[in-house]
Structure 1
Amino acid sequence: MSHTTIPARVALVTGASGGIGGAIAERLAADGMAVVAHYSSRAAGAEEVVDRITAQGGRALALGGDVADEDAMTSLFQTAIDTFGGVDVVINAAGIMPLAPVAETDLEVLDRVLRTNVRGTFVIDQLAARHLRRGGALVNVSTSITRLQTPTYGAYAASKGAVEALTLVLARELRGRDITVNTVAPGPTATPLFFEGKTKQMVEGITALSPMERLGRPEDIAEVAAFLAGPGRWVNGQTIHANGGAA
């Protein structure tokens, strides 16, 4: 670890046990940030992300907890502050995506989606608003489904519409603190969550939506998140659709 007069920036990434969140955690570490990689249930995945970061000479820590539980997340933020000295970047990548037509959606499943995707985002955003240092950045993660409006995604699209609505409100509330608040809205991205329950034919059909003729990669989304977390200081209160032109 180098001893410089400028302390390293510190990033807290929720849902960092793999997929998009894991790629973002690794990308921010490559930019020199110390990273807290949060996981909900997949501790092994988060530990693998941390191992890859530390193998490259970075600093990282895996911590678990339910994003919708304010006490657990308060503890998470405090551990980040105690370990690394503060928090400069928060990336909200935790989320769940059970699919069903609206007419057939189990309302208990809806409650679970809203708890994780809406309440969880709100809890993390609230803590970020309280703890981010000047010059900080908050990046929520939505989905291009809010534009594509694909059947069976009703509960998920509704939850992410709420995430996008929260972003500009919070950006305005943080006036005067030099903190940006944005949302990145990925299109179809090749992660385990995306492939779950889809046939080869379905995957091919979704891939064809993009004029780039491929699925997004987690690294594609991480690149946008890193821009918003670092040099993109004049982008604020926005939803950036990173989907290769699919929507």
Structure 2
Amino acid sequence: MPSQRRLRLLFLLVIAFTVAVLWYTADLRAARQVDFYQRTVKKMQEKGTDNAEMSKRLKDAELDAKKAADAKGPKEVVLGEGNKGDKHLAIVKANADAEDSRPAYDVTDELNAILKRSPIIIFSKSYCPFSKKAKGILLDKYKIVPAPYVVELDQHTHGTEIQDELLRTTGRRTVPNVLINGKSIGGGDDVAQLDTSGLLVEKVKSIGGKRIMEVALRSLKHPKQGRR
């Protein structure tokens, strides 16, 4: 029978062999795991590269489609040849800027400018019979120097605004409205009454003052042609 020493040595050899085998297999397993991990990472990186490339291709295709649609779509046409169209647009823009820079309309300034034209102003409307009556008396029946100035409000750009301002300043909005030195003496019936009563000349002189150079009834032998 083998001695205990040999058995013990054999037992130690078996244990050492077993440990060596286990150690080797563990290293082999670890190496395989590392290799698997590296292959997996590599594939993931390659897949990521493919996705990025695909995304870039999709974006490029989208841009190409948009350019094609723009090329087929309607284009804004500018009239004119060469740079004439650009010049036309520049002129239009300059005119618009000029209009924007213009001061707002001031009816008070407008009325003051009208009152400076003559001592007597007849605010009228071309179709109004009462206006026709007042104009016939002041312009045809009487000779007044300077001649009365007529403003046809229905033909004036700002006729409505002027009428509103006359209501504010004279208390009268209807036509005709006859002003002497900015003071209203009434309408057609009022002027006719002054004429009939023989007070028109005196009224004009008293209110008109030094601005009225002459006022007199015209000679019946040479009447001024009547107004229509």
Which category describes the TM-score, using the shorter chain as reference length? Answer: under 0.3
Larger Rg: 2
TM-score, normalised relative to structure 1: 0.21
Relative to total residues, which structure has the larger strand share, 1 or 2? 1
Q: How high is the TM-score relative to the length of structure 2?
A: 0.22
Q: Which has the higher helix share?
A: 2
